[in-house]
Amino acid sequence: MSDTPPGRLFFQSETFRVEGSLARHPRVTGRHLTEPAREVPIHAECDVLVVGGGPAGTAAAVAAGRLGARVMLLERHNHLGGLSTGGLVIWIDRMTDWSGQLVIRGFAEEYLARLPKGAIAGPPREAWGSRDAATAAWWALRTAAFHGTVTHSPTADPEWMKAVALEMVTEAGAEPLFHAWGAQPVMEGNAVRGAIFESKQGRRAILAKVVVDATGDGDLFHRAGAASAADIEEGDIHHAMNTSWMFGGVDMEAYLRWRAEQPEQFSEFLRLGREAHGQFEKAFVSWRNDVALFMGPRMTGFSAVAVDDLTEVEIRSHRLMLAHLAFYRAHAPGFAGAWPLLSAPQLGVRHARRLVGAGAVTRAMWDGGVAPDEVGVSPGLSPRFPNVSIPYGALVPARLDGLLAPGRHLSCDATSHSFMREIPQCWLTGQAAGVAAALAADRGIEPRLLPAREVQRLLLAQNVYLSAASIAAAA
Ligand SMILES: Cc1cc2nc3c(=O)[nH]c(=O)nc-3n(C[C@H](O)[C@H](O)[C@H](O)COP(=O)(O)OP(=O)(O)OC[C@H]3O[C@@H](n4cnc5c(N)ncnc54)[C@H](O)[C@@H]3O)c2cc1C
């Protein structure tokens, strides 16, 4: 573990070990072949091309579409939501600040409100911010209270999240294109003006006035030559990878009761699990009592952009899933009838590349202050910290034009990545990128030249929460 001061990391008590990366010993033959040059059909032209349909890309497509832009949304899988659905990361992190005020609003608030009853579980609004010891202890076991404070951090049904995301995207007039892998930016000088994608039809291009890279891994901005950072915070889990899974047929209330009432037995269970399997994970609640969620064991030291490493993490995660099934069935109350409901279709990558931006979210900003180009506000990491003001510059590459980069690969330092990569923050930065991309396309100017006040006015009209100082400045 690192010597990180208290309160700086959210998952401070977590431990993990560094594994060997296959990327350090890659399977390279040293030989190359030359691909012949070829004509690439232009599949479509649009104002805003969003590449990647995760939380950031979905929010960007909806925000831009609602402003009247012609939007296309390219996604390599068959669904929207990225890791929040296909990655089974169905525990949405905190959207309230430590006083219980909802600060991640806009797209996020509307999206979750549109989920039907029964598809989302979490504390009722009147409990947000509660410090009542019994209430907080109850919700702490259900991943919705931290530091003795109840938070709005619900769990949700991934299928309903996919369905509502698709409805919102198409209602906004944005056109999704599934089974299409964004492969290469289309360049015009220093500006990105579209992307070439791979699909069953081979390579095709989509031309756009502005591109939003929402791949999470910076695929587009990296290939366009923008600088990225890859340093990590060793003591945090933000650089670990794993494939999540869900077990059905469980009784989570029985399991949680056992955890709360027999803490020594539970510790011994974890110890024996680690002894048997090396890495061992606690079960998390989901949106249903009969479904358990496992978002680990987390593996570190692998590269999220090396295909051999991705394969190795899949193999290890899937083996660990079956090992956990047997161990939980045999030893954990509530798990006797467990069965493997689903392993995530999308590998859980927390960190690959981070943009080097015109601005950045940095540790210095955790102590307060309002960014002049604020596009949203994130809850502070612990009650010791106020809300963090997110600058537009964190989405804008330092030099590359024609592209914005919201989501988990935005510009931030390694320690701020611990919370800026979370789903609510990705919705927030995605919505900001969508608004800015639509505005830049409409004006025919580069995203970096947009007046911050105009972006803020459009964000406020889409119900985004901004600091009082930003609201006054935008008025
Ligand atoms: C195991 C795990 C646990 C986590 N726990 C939590 C948690 O409890 N709470 C929380 O809030 N957050 C959590 N996170 C973080 C959060 O899930 C992600 O950081 C967040 O989903 C990132 O959103 P994004 O839109 O930036 O990227 P992603 O969710 O990764 O979405 C990117 C999308 O782009 C697509 N894509 C990628 N490359 C291409 C390409 N070249 N062409 C076309 N499509 C492409 C992908 O298929 C995907 O759909 C966790 C993450 C992991 C991995």
pLDDT of residue 58: 98
Cα R_g (the chain), whole angstroms: 22
- Ligand 1 contact via 206 beta carbon (within 6 Å): no
Place of tokens 């594994």: 19
Segment 77-85 mean pLDDT: 98
pLDDT 10s digits, 260-304: 999 999 999 999 999 999 899 999 999 999 999 999 999 988 999
**In this model, does residue 212 exceed pLDDT 60?**
yes
What are the structural domains of the chain?
42-88+162-233+353-474 (3.50.50.60), 240-348 (no CATH)
Ligand 1 within 6 A of 310 CB?
Answer: no
Closest CA to 333 of 256, 275, 280: 256
DSSP letter assigned to residue 352: S
Collapse the DSSP code of 52 into the 3-class scheme (helix H, G, I; strand E, B; otherwise coil) and give the result: coil
| Greater pLDDT, 18 or 411 | 411
- Ligand 1 center to 91 CA (angstroms): 13
Q: For the residues 392-408, what does the mean pLDDT come to?
A: 98
Dist. CA 240 → ligand 1 center (Å): 13
The 3-state DSSP class for residue 287 equals: coil
pLDDT band at 12 (very low <50, low <70, confident <90, very high): very low
Q: Is residue 61 classed as helix, strand or coil in its secondary structure?
A: helix
Mutation to probe ligand 1, out of 215, 310, 411 (largest number of atoms < 8 A from CB)? 215
Whether residue 136 contacts residue 130, with contact meaning beta carbons closer than 8 Å, is answered with yes
Q: Is the CB of 374 under 6 A from ligand 1?
A: no
DSSP-derived letter for residue 116 is P
CB atoms within 10 A of CB 453: 14
Q: CB–CB of 466/459 below 8 Å? A: yes
Residue 455: CB atoms within 10 Å: 22
Alpha carbon distance 196, 41 (integer Å): 9
426 alpha-carbon distance from chain centroid: 5
pLDDT for 5 equals 43
Task: Tell me, using a 6 A CB cutoff, whether residue 152 lines ligand 1.
Answer: no
Is there an atom of ligand 1 within 6 Å of 215 CB?
yes
Tens-place pLDDT, residues 350-375: 999 999 999 999 999 999 999 999 99
Model confidence, pTM: 0.96
Kindly write down the DSSP assignment for every residue of 188-257, as one continuous string: ETTEEEEEEEEETTEEEEEEEEEEEE-SSS-HHHHHTT--EE----TTSSTT-EE--EEEES--HHHHHH
Q: Whose CA is nearest to atom 39 of ligand 1?
A: 215
Q: Are 313 and 299 in contact (CB under 8 A)?
A: yes
Mean pLDDT throughout 164-182? 98
Pairing type for strands 155-156 and 120-121 reads antiparallel
